[in-house]
Amino acid sequence: MTTPILPGATLGMLGSGQLGRMFAIAARRLGYRVHVLSPEKNTPMGQVADLEVQADYDDLDQIAEFAQGVSVVTFEFENVPAETTEACSRYCPVRPAGKVLFTSQNRLREKTFLRDAGLPVTPFVAVKSAAELTAGLKQQGLPSVLKTADWGYDGKGQVVVRSLDDAASAWSALDVPQAILESFIDFESELSVVGVRGLDGQFVSYGPIGNSHSHHILDVSVCPARVSPAIAKSSVEIARAVLEKLDVVGVLCVEFFVTKSRQLLINETAPRPHNSGHLTIDAHVTCQFEQQVRAVCGLPLGSTELRSPAAMANLLGDVWEAGTPDWPAALRQPNLKLHLYGKQEARIGRKMGHLTVLAKTVDEAERIAREARTALRGAPDPSE
């Protein structure tokens, strides 16, 4: 049996954004020290870590030195090169393993792995040229969604193709050597299941979380999701299968479409804590970030019991457009929790923070969250 990494040890994080920040806060509560490496400085995570190392992910000498100073390495986003995690693994465990990252960071590898594992995914074909795109559109039908195979997030690197005449311009606009063409899903709702798997195979999840998006960016999440018990059960079972098939040690989120025929289709996976799981900080006994710490350190996982129905609303840079947000206006809600990420510059579409509201019902929590966000800038909520 592998010896657990106990409080007092130093944990290493690749990536230094808000997910790393919340991981560091959870880790320090448990008595760990935290080091972070990324190409940036004075980052959201760097502000709360014990050590912030500024280095490129392809600087393998710096990576090796970083890995030798920690007991385990994990990551907070997918766009870390496989060579980086491989270099770290020579000196300490990397959890989840680099092979999980390698699979999830490429949409084509990810969807192929899931399909071959017998899991329900959106129909897709690989595309490497405008001619292959045209052939794929004839096979998949119209409309379809053309996505970059690599480095896509928050709706970036994708375009909806609605006619064969648009194929050439769509391929040119994407400007990549390889892409994936997916059937357009006329879905009823979107769900995510944040799952956690320990070193000993223990699995827990938070159940399905209901998500709504605005301009391809997560806008509001609610828990529990407004779905039937059958869909809730099935979503957790599929998520567990994904973590087990990938042999994940750590946190992984599975995002689903629920079709109008009540079918669950996996849209994508993220092998780390997820934006939709931020509400677990306030709404659950053990949040997704503490679970990440526990899992990568080989400790028993915590309870995922829901304390109260909750809603989480993202705060994008748009909220700062008219000046400093009216924080007291939002904080007048007694069951509201404000989380800001320490980013120095507010930009349109940039995730700057979130707020979570606890209430007696999901509907009430979502209503208050939206109203509180609107009150921050004194203007109508554009997502409503």
Domains observed in the chain: 10-94 (3.40.50.20), 123-183 (3.30.1490.20), 187-377 (3.30.470.20)
| Cα 223 from Cα 361, distance rounded (Å) | 9
Select from 64, 54, 5 the least CA-distant residue to 32: 5
- What count of Cα atoms within 13 Å lies in the side-chain half-sphere of residue 102? 10
Identify the DSSP state of 90: T
pLDDT tens readout for residues 186-213: 899 999 999 999 999 999 999 999 999 9
Residue 379: pLDDT band (50, 70, 90) is very low
At 335, give phi and psi (nearest 5°).
-105, 25
| Cα 154 from Cα 145, distance rounded (Å) | 14
Judged by average pLDDT, the poorest of 84-98, 111-125, 154-168 is: 154-168
| Cα 284 from Cα 304, distance rounded (Å) | 6
pLDDT tens readout for residues 249-306: 999 999 999 999 999 999 999 999 999 999 999 999 999 999 999 999 999 999 999 9
| Cα 336 from Cα 364, distance rounded (Å) | 12
| Cα 203 from Cα 239, distance rounded (Å) | 10
The radius of gyration computed from the CA coordinates of the chain, to the nearest angstrom, equals 21
DSSP-assigned beta bridge partners for residue 266 = 121, 256
pLDDT tens readout for residues 144-178: 999 999 866 555 688 899 999 999 999 998 889 99
* Percent of the chain predicted with pLDDT > 70: 96
N-to-C CA span, the chain: 52
Contact 52, 13 (CB under 8 A): no
| Cα 299 from Cα 296, distance rounded (Å) | 8
3-state secondary structure of 95: coil
* Predicted local confidence at residue 294, as pLDDT: 98
Contact 193, 253 (CB under 8 A): yes
* Percent of the chain predicted with pLDDT > 90: 90
